[in-house]
Amino acid sequence: MADTTTPHTALLTALATEHFVQQSAISATISEMASRTTIYIMSLSSALVATGFVAQSPEFLQPFLLAVLPSLFLLGSFTVLRLIDIAAENMQAHIGIARIRAYYRTLGDDAAFQFSKEFGRWPENDAEPSLRSGPLLAHLTTAATMIAFVNGIVAAAGVTLLALYIGSALAPALCLGAGTTTGLMILFYWYQRLRTKGMVRLAKAYGPEKSVL
């Protein structure tokens, strides 16, 4: 039987399939983000409970913390890096969907209305809810930022305890811990913005719309 499918119909079928694939990718990234965040928080909670039990035996507390705190910090760092990668994958899928919607708008007046920019998400619509308070707040309220801050507290605790162990007074040790958290957050924020700007440049180069990030 001869194939009666026109190139136009075949293209629309392919675009609809790709649209579904990109939306599935977005759902997968959100699911993975939630899973990785949960793993870290559960690990941290378990470590805190274990610390409470070990604290009853002071001779075991120090070696326990020496083993647990660096491990938690490494787990948190790996989690944060992966969360940023996941966010980039999510943005890439949104760029793909925006390009497909841009083609849908060329199918006629009804399609132009149904798939208009105003009804789209980033990078089509500059009124993305997460951006209404500005890019700064948007970056400070991500899942990656949340884990990075908690991980910074873990690092601060380790640095503070180490400073006290080598003979530092309490106030300088606390200041050193606070400085550690601040430095790590600044480094993380810079890296997250760097990765986000890379995806924004991709959206501007290959996407149909401009971005405000």
For residue 135, the tally of other CB atoms under 10 A from its CB is 16
Q: Decide: 88 and 195 in contact? Cβ < 8 Å.
A: yes
Whether the pLDDT of residue 154 is over 60: the answer is yes
Ramachandran sector of residue 140 (left: φ over 0; alpha: ψ -120 to 50; beta: rest): alpha
pLDDT exceeds cutoff 70 at 48? yes
Q: What is the percent of the chain with per-residue pLDDT over 90, rounded to a whole number?
A: 36
Name the pLDDT band for 168 (thresholds 50, 70, 90): confident
- Boundaries of every domain in the chain: 7-206
Residue 211 pLDDT: 40
pLDDT at position 104 over 60: yes
Instruction: Provide the token pair at 6.
Output: 């026109």
1: helix, strand or coil: coil
**Percentage helix, strand, coil for the chain under 3-state DSSP, each rounded to 5:** 85, 0, 15
Q: Give pLDDT, residue 212.
A: 38
